[in-house]
A and B are shown apart, each in its own frame.
Chain A
Amino acid sequence: MLRRINYFSKLKSDLKNFNSLSFKDEKLELLKSKKKNIKKEYYNNIAKLTNKPCKLSLFYSIFSKDNEEINNLKNSYKVEKANIQNDLDEYKKSFEYHKQRNLKFRSIKDLLRGFNSFFFAFLIVALLVWIIVYIFATGSGKLTLDKIFGNYKTETYSLKTENNFALSDNLDFSDLDLSSPNVSKKWGVEFKLLSVNDKSYVAISKVSENSPFNYLVNINNDEAFDRGFEGLYISSMSVMDSNNYLNIIVGQTTVENFITELDKGVEIVDSTFLGEGGGFRGSLLNTLALIGLSLVFAFPLGVGAAIYLGVYAKETKVTSIIRSLIDMISGVPSIIFGLAGALIFIPVASLIPGTNGGNLLSGALTMTMILLPTIVKTVEESIKVIPKSLTQASLALGASKTETVFKVVLPNSLPGILTSLLLSIGRIIGESAALVFAMGTTIAEYANMNGSNATLAVHIWVILGGDHPAYDNACAIAIIIIIIVLILTLLIKLIAFKMNKFKVR
């Protein structure tokens, strides 16, 4: 609070200085006011002489050239005016004037400069806010549990009423709100509208306990339908009425129309229920599996290399070559990793019987290459920070070098290891180009090793690649990614903050 007050008071004083320093050139003002005063005095004197109001007196003075007094006044005014003008011109040539002028322009320039940097900073913040707002506004409607844990492929159910079905008239549907226009009193079902891909379909919202809809069976094998109607919408329904006329009702109408048509019938011969699909359970599971698998490969390799570089290696030419080679990995674009992964690791992954092309294993091995430089650098940095006295004390107490590495160096470099873990997770979640090549683009329902699998990022890329990109679904996935990335970034900051605190103590 105190700091803030200080800041504002400083700002105030700055502003004061700003005004007095730059915009007021006191000497110039003085000269100018003198000039004005002389003019005023001259007018007044003429007015006194001619006994006329000020402005008229001037006209009068022009016509009365012979008046000596007026001529004297005129001449003395001219002389004084010339003197003052001379002073002014001299002053304008002087160093003082230019200094003041420069200060004035400098303050304007400074204002522009300050505004300039503020503007660009504002631009970046606005960009971040814009991206996040766009993604949340478009995707939040689609981000339901059904979507997160739902199938990607559209579900289809063909249902009909039981064999030898007869609709009885006096069934008790009192668990529904019978006064509502959305309830079919004959069938005991409450309907609602469900919008799917910008079209609205009729869907079932609630089924009464005694409704015949509880006993619908599959049209192909007469098996009972026990999935429930959540998330399903009606594509079409064929209803037989009491005169044995077949009436086909399309699901893409209003609820009232649908109910009036449905209530005419006594038996449902065929109905098609569709699930919305577009869920991303498979991609989510696959991403998690990929994270686990790549970390298993990357961490031993990366931490081992970091320990070698940080603890064992002496500063020789070979070490510096190894170090620069590892640095070079981070400059390689991800699509090149994808190409290399497709070349090197897909044949390796195909050794698993029953697989074909890229799968989780090849994806994980490719990600391992990508993660290596991050892990090596971060862990090596944190190893270098460990005070030498610690390792020397361990060695002096009789521990071997191996024991020192595993019991002193590794536990003390834990912050670095954690940071690199979080960075790696962020990288895996966001990676797309490399995985398109190395792991394939098929969106699976569950994580599997059998073949091509998409992660969340690749899923976005795939569904936006078609002719009619589904922005809302893509944004729903993007929300998950952004939230994870945000948490990871904040955690990394937290670790760094704690480390700094620890160091100061």
Chain B
Amino acid sequence: MKSNNIQQNALKKANFKTKIDLLVKFIFAFLALICACVVIFIVIFILVKGIQPFIIPDGSGATQNISDFFLNPNWLYDGTGGMSYMMLATIYVTLLSLIISVPTSIFCGLFIVKVCPKSIKEILKTGVQILASIPSVIFGLFGMGVLKPIVKGFANAVGMQTFGGSSVLTGVLVLAFMTIPTITLVSITSMEAVDINLSKASLALGASNQQTNYKIVLKASQSGIFAGTILGIGRALGEATALQMVIGNGGVGWDFLNVFNIYRTLTTTMLAGIGEATGIKYDIRFSLGIVLIIVIVVTNILLNLLKNYMTRIDKGEPKDKNKIGIIKNIKIYLEAYVHAKKN
């Protein structure tokens, strides 16, 4: 009797435990699901709110003019502003900053991984990590306090005018400084992962140390460096505070092509004057948010396609004949078109 009882109790306990296991698993799955839904919620809410200014008039009866939104070279918060030039300026500023930051971070990564003695290596790496963890506001503060006067002096020496040092160039410098540590850290990891036999083979064939570094290590860590660059581009496109503090938030049309002019990007326009904004002046920022999301998603998709293509070439797989065929076809069509126009 007694043993039977014990058995029954044990069974009951086990049943209870399995039930609790299920419950706990369900709870954890639910938490994971919440985490996964965050991105979807963000996008849906911003989409819904961002379309509103085009359709529903705000308290003062103002709506955003759709044709102006795409074509007007000037940005105004009152419903007649245009964002296309701003979008181009965002991409332009990002590209310029990459021209500075990518070579710097690649060579710095190479120095840290391959050239410098081991005792300095950890110190340098820690330095880059600290630089990566400095918040963007402090970069903005640095840009305002140090870079603005320098850019102003430089512009005066060249014979150009700046708006008290606020200019596209200052913004580019700040963005470059912010993206350097990101790209450097990723490059370091990818360079450390390069197969040591590769560089040994290169040395055995008679190449010098530096030749091996530049022609083997850099080539082998190409895709990793590219991944770091993608991260850097993401950071540069979405940066708001630091850029808003130095870029000046003004300018019309193609002004941004001259680096000494003030201009505005999508993020800085969203951030500027947020404290006093009401009605459409507040809501229109969500429409700009949609544009920013689209820009980021499109650039990321394009860059990732490029990266996959590069890694496939790295692995030595044959090139995709179809894609090259399409490009060739397009070339032929273009040539035919030009030929037809000439005659």
Contact = CB atoms under 8 A, between A and B. Distances in A.
Q: Are A and B interaction partners?
A: yes
Interface of A: 3-4, 7, 106-107, 109-110, 113-114, 116-121, 123-125, 127-128, 130-131, 134-135, 138, 300-302, 304-305, 307-309, 311-313, 321-322, 325-326, 328-329, 331-337, 339-340, 343-344, 369, 372, 376, 400-402, 405, 426, 429-433, 436-437, 441, 457-458, 460-461, 464-465, 469, 471, 474-475, 478, 481-482, 485-486, 488-490, 493
B31 A304 contact: yes
Interface residues of B, number: 87
Contact of A339 (B141, B184, B270): B270
B274 A436 contact: yes
B122 to A, nearest CB: 9
Contacts of B289: 335-336, 339
B42 interface: yes
Contacts of A490: 126
Nearest to B34: A301
Contacts of B25: 308, 312, 401
B238 A336 contact: yes
B95 interface: no
B29 A308 contact: yes
A305 B208 contact: no
A309 B28 CA distance: 9
Contact of B213 (A107, A113, A460): A113
B270 A325 contact: no
B117 interface: yes
A121 B124 contact: yes
A465 B242 CA distance: 11
Interface of B: 17-18, 20-21, 24-25, 27-29, 31-42, 45-46, 49, 103-105, 107-108, 110-112, 115-119, 124, 126-131, 133-142, 144-146, 177, 180-181, 184, 208-211, 213-214, 234-235, 237-241, 245, 267, 270-271, 274-275, 285-286, 289, 292-293, 296, 300
A109 B267 CA distance: 43
A433 B243 CA distance: 11
A328 B41 CA distance: 13
Given A118-B115, A469-B144, 18 more contacts: A107-B208, A117-B110, A120-B103, A120-B105, A124-B105, A127-B177, A131-B139, A135-B142, A333-B235, A339-B285, A369-B42, A402-B17, A437-B274, A464-B245, A475-B145, A481-B138, A482-B138, A485-B133
25 contacts: A106-B211, A117-B107, A121-B111, A124-B128, A127-B177, A128-B127, A128-B131, A135-B141, A335-B289, A336-B42, A336-B293, A339-B286, A369-B38, A400-B17, A401-B24, A402-B21, A430-B136, A432-B135, A433-B136, A464-B245, A465-B245, A475-B145, A478-B138, A478-B141, A488-B133
A111 B37 CA distance: 54
B274 A321 contact: no
Nearest to B146: A134
A406 B133 CA distance: 32
B234 A485 contact: no
Given A333-B234, A336-B292, A124 B108 contact: yes
Contacts of B237: 333
B101 to A, nearest CB: 10
Given A334-B240, A400-B21, A344 B41 contact: yes
A381 to B, nearest CB: 14
B75 to A, nearest CB: 16
B135 A474 contact: no
B52 to A, nearest CB: 11
Contacts of A309: 32
A457 B270 contact: no
A2 B285 CA distance: 62
Nearest to B274: A436
A331 B234 contact: yes
Given A121-B112, A441-B275, A486-B130, A431 B42 contact: no
A331 B211 contact: no
A335 B243 CA distance: 12
Contacts of A131: 131, 134, 138-139, 142
Contacts of B28: 304-305, 307-308, 311-312
A14 B133 CA distance: 38
A344 B45 contact: yes
B270 A335 contact: yes
Contact of A460 (B29, B137, B292): B137
Contacts of A426: 133
B118 to A, nearest CB: 8
B129 A489 contact: yes
Contact of A308 (B17, B31, B241): B31
Given A124-B128, A134-B142, A4 B31 contact: no
Given A333-B239, A336-B292, A461-B245, A343 B271 contact: no
Contacts of B20: 400, 402
Given A482-B134, A489-B126, A305 B31 contact: yes
B217 to A, nearest CB: 11
A369 B235 CA distance: 17
Contact of B267 (A3, A333, A469): A333
A344 B296 CA distance: 22
Contacts of B116: 118, 121
B41 A120 contact: no
A4 B27 CA distance: 56
A437 to B, nearest CB: 7
Closest 9 CB pairs of A and B: A333-B238, A430-B135, A304-B31, A308-B28, A120-B107, A121-B111, A117-B111, A305-B32, A433-B240
Given A432-B137, A489-B133, A116 B107 contact: yes
Given A121-B112, A333-B267, A464-B141, A326 B241 contact: no
A398 B139 CA distance: 55
B32 A304 contact: yes
Given A127-B180, A334-B240, A329 B135 contact: no
A124 B184 contact: yes
A329 B240 contact: no
Given A110-B210, A336-B289, A343-B45, A124 B104 contact: yes
B291 to A, nearest CB: 11
A329 B39 contact: yes
Contact of A372 (B35, B137, B142, B145): B35
Nearest to B209: A110
Contact of B38 (A123, A329, A478): A329
A469 B34 CA distance: 42
Given A110-B210, A433-B240, A471-B144, A125 B127 contact: yes
